[in-house]
């Protein structure tokens, strides 16, 4: 996959001599969380501030995903960049990439993905804390934003694959809340219609366990826009949740 630099970020990176793989790879930065080692390699994330611009610098070695097109594996960041670009073309609100490059060094596959920081946004996990203490208007606006985001995602025939509170970012706006998605590594096309949609939505509702039935109903209304359809979706989601619970 070719190196990528977003036009909007090229000047900032060049001004700090960070518009190359080697320069970004050599940076010594603290990680914002523990390295991801689940795929046999490792992947780290660090915050990078360049003047008034803030980014998250993600670097990985032998952290690979395999597919029919890449049976021997490719960096997961390569797949995520393709998904970021696809979301932009489809008009699905999501994070923006500033830089991507990959190299093979001493037989190891290394990759960098630099994304713009979502300063001013908070993930849904943040908004769920002290949920009962938030105003009803604020709670309803958050539920509508999440439901509408899910609708835009699925109407574009995409399945996120990890539609969790920590991957949904929200920001207060004049008309309520804006919402967008991060972590697009597992995104794929909807293949099985309603089954895939349910598979995407159910983990969100299970993790947002402090939502009442009425609040879930409001989210579903925003998602489907019709009370009759919302009832059907509620039943399907309840059935999947019961099935998941029975398997534990």
φ/ψ of residue 80, rounded to 5 = -65, -40
How far apart (Å, rounded) are the C-alpha atoms in residues 46 and 193? 37
* Among the four given CATH numbers 1.10.510.10, 3.40.605.10, 1.10.3720.10, 3.40.50.2000, the one describing domain 122-247: 1.10.510.10
Q: What is the pLDDT of residue 203?
A: 94
pLDDT digits (tens, 9 = 90+) for 160-216: 999 999 999 999 999 899 999 999 999 999 999 999 999 999 999 999 999 999 999
Q: What is the pLDDT of residue 226?
A: 78
- Which DSSP string do the residues of 175-229 spell out, in sequence order? TEEEEEE---TT-EE--STHHHHHHHHHHHHHH-TT--HHHHHHHHHHHHS-HHH
Q: What is the pLDDT of residue 164?
A: 97
Q: What is the pLDDT of residue 35?
A: 87
Can you list the residues of the chain whose pLDDT is less than 50? none
Boundaries of every domain in the chain: 4-116, 122-247
Nearest to 60 by CA among 122, 124, 20, 114: 114
Q: What is the CATH number of domain 4-116?
A: 3.30.200.20
Handedness of CA 218, 204, 55, 157 (dihedral sign): negative
pTM of the entire structure? 0.93
Side by side, the strands of the sheet bearing 168-173 are 122-123, 168-173, 176-181
């Amino acid at each position: 996959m070719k190196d990528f630099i977003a036009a909007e970020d090229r000047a900032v990176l060049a001004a700090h001599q960070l518009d190359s793989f080697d320069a970004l790879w050599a940076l010594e930065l603290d990680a914002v969380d523990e390295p991801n080692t689940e795929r046999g390699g490792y992947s780290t994330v660090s915050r990078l501030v360049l003047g008034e611009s803030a980014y998250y610098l993600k670097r990985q070695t032998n952290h690979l995903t395999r597919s029919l097109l890449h049976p021997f594996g490719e960096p997961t960041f390569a797949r995520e960049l393709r998904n970021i670009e696809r979301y932009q073309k489809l008009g699905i609100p999501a994070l923006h990439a500033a830089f991507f490059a990959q190299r093979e060094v001493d037989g190891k596959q290394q990759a960098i993905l630099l994304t713009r920081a979502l300063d001013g946004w908070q993930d849904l996990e943040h908004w769920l804390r002290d949920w009962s203490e938030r105003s009803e208007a604020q709670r309803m606006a958050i539920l509508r934003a999440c439901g509408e985001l899910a609708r835009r995602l699925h109407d574009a025939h995409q399945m996120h694959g990890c539609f969790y509170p920590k991957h949904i970012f929200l920001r207060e706006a004049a008309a309520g809340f804006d919402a967008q998605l991060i972590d697009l590594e597992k995104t794929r096309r909807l293949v099985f219609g309603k089954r895939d949609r349910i598979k995407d939505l159910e983990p969100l509702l299970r993790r947002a366990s402090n939502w009442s039935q009425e609040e879930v109903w409001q989210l579903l209304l925003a998602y489907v826009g019709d009370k009759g359809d919302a009832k059907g979706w509620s039943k399907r989601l309840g059935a999947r949740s019961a099935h998941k619970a029975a398997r534990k």
